[in-house]
Amino acid sequence: MFLILSSYASAVEISGNVALSSDYIWRGMTQTQGDPFGQRWF
């Protein structure tokens, strides 16, 4: 049983991303009032 769990654990992959920007504009309107913002994805 340990062998099965061990092989499953090696198949799991975790990834992510981080973004920083000086302003967030969506559909032509600022969403952060000119302030910097950050986003992250996991």
Residue 21 neighbours by CB under 8 Å, 6+ apart? 36, 37, 38
In a domain, 2, yes or no: no
Structural domain tally of the chain? 1
pLDDT tens column, 1-27? 455 555 555 667 778 888 877 777 788
pTM > 0.75: yes or no = no
pLDDT band at 36 (very low <50, low <70, confident <90, very high): confident
CA–CA separation, 26 and 19 (whole Å): 16
**What pLDDT is recorded for position 24?**
76
In a domain, 7, yes or no: no
Q: Which helix (H) or strand (E) covers residue 20, if one does?
A: strand 17-21
In a domain, 8, yes or no: no
Q: Which domain holds residue 19?
A: 14-42
